[in-house]
Amino acid sequence: MTDLLNGKVAIVTGGSKGIGFGIAERFTNEGATVIICSRTESDLSEASDNIGCDSYQLDVSDSNKIRSMVEWFTEKYGKLDILVNNAGLIRPGRINDVTEEDWDLQLNVNLKGPYLMSSNFLPHMNKGGSILNIASTVGLRAMKGAVAYCASKGGVVNLTKAMALDLAGKIRVNCICPAVVDTPMVDERVQSGHISRRILEKVQPIGRMGKPAEIASMALHLCGPEADWTTGSIITVDGGQTAA
Ligand SMILES: NC(=O)c1ccc[n+]([C@@H]2O[C@H](COP(=O)([O-])OP(=O)(O)OC[C@H]3O[C@@H](n4cnc5c(N)ncnc54)[C@H](OP(=O)(O)O)[C@@H]3O)[C@@H](O)[C@H]2O)c1
């Protein structure tokens, strides 16, 4: 470890599991003070104990709860350096059968969540800070049977670019688009019988799923001092998936 984030304060949404946990763990090991947030208190406290970081229970689609978190945060920590908008969920559904409820849930959490977190925390961010959005390769090219998820992630890709333009010279805004990463989200899809692990491994030319730590390495680069000139960038970390 290189202490690249010494003295920095970072919030990672969806940090109790999967990719968010991997990012929070890496940032903590690199010297940052990290606050993870998600909805399930028991998962949050277990994760924050494991990582050795702080936590705050939050639904990223709830603007009132976010405003309360901002008050709590500014009193306890003052200013923020890094915001990672990682919290997300997937519900299957094609254009002809997706329910309005599932559409709203995915758009509210996956796309409105990053907007609400960013707009509420921006006034409390240090100049030179950094926002990282976690989209997906399906934000760049769609997959069958997940119309709302694809729409939400395509939105996150362009939200990143628009924010980067608005905030240029003040806050850098970047986006990682992972392919399939081995997390509880993927386990759930496998357990529900929607798809097999073998197929999920084969959709990457490298022949395996990614690991949360491999997304965390790119997150560290994008949020750290070595990416000072990088903003508005959409980076795939995908085992070669989008090369095909
Ligand atoms: N795994 C993949 O293959 C893959 C690929 C591309 C992109 N991604 C994206 O990467 C991100 C992380 O995915 P993952 O695979 O690590 O998922 P995961 O294992 O299901 O973890 C998701 C995390 O987000 C939290 N979360 C969900 N809804 C939330 C809400 N409304 N408010 C606050 N927290 C919420 C969850 O905790 P609670 O449920 O307790 O709130 C959990 O901590 C997501 O945005 C996902 O779309 C994943």
For residue 154, being part of any structural domain is answered with yes
For residue 201, being part of any structural domain is answered with no
- Known catalytic residue at 56: no
Q: How many domains does the chain have?
A: 1
Residue 72 structure tokens? 């709590």
For residue 150, being part of any structural domain is answered with yes
* CATH code for position 110: 3.40.50.720
Could you give the CA distance from residue 189 to residue 91 in angstroms, rounded to a whole number? 9
Could you give the CA distance from residue 204 to residue 152 in angstroms, rounded to a whole number? 22
For residue 242, being part of any structural domain is answered with no
Under the banding of pLDDT at 50, 70 and 90, the label for residue 2 is confident
Give the range of the structural domain holding residue 152, as residue numbers without chain letter.
9-179+211-236
Q: Read off the DSSP letter of residue 30.
A: T
Atom of ligand 1 nearest to the CA of 16: 43
pLDDT of 144-191, one tens digit each?
999 999 999 999 999 999 999 999 999 999 999 999 999 999 999 999
Atom of ligand 1 nearest to the CA of 135: 7
Whether 90 and 185 have beta carbons less than 8 Å apart is answered as yes
Residue 199 structure tokens? 């197929």
Residue written as tokens 């976010």? 66
- Best residue among 36, 39, 51, 209 to mutate for probing ligand 1, ranked by most atoms within 8 Å of CB: 39
Distance between Cα 62 and ligand 1 center (Å)? 16
Distance between Cα 162 and ligand 1 center (Å)? 23
For residue 13, being part of any structural domain is answered with yes
For residue 220, being part of any structural domain is answered with yes
pLDDT of 43-94, one tens digit each?
999 999 999 999 999 999 999 999 999 999 999 999 999 999 999 999 999 9
Which 3 state secondary structure label does DSSP give 179?
Answer: coil
Which 3 state secondary structure label does DSSP give 180?
Answer: coil
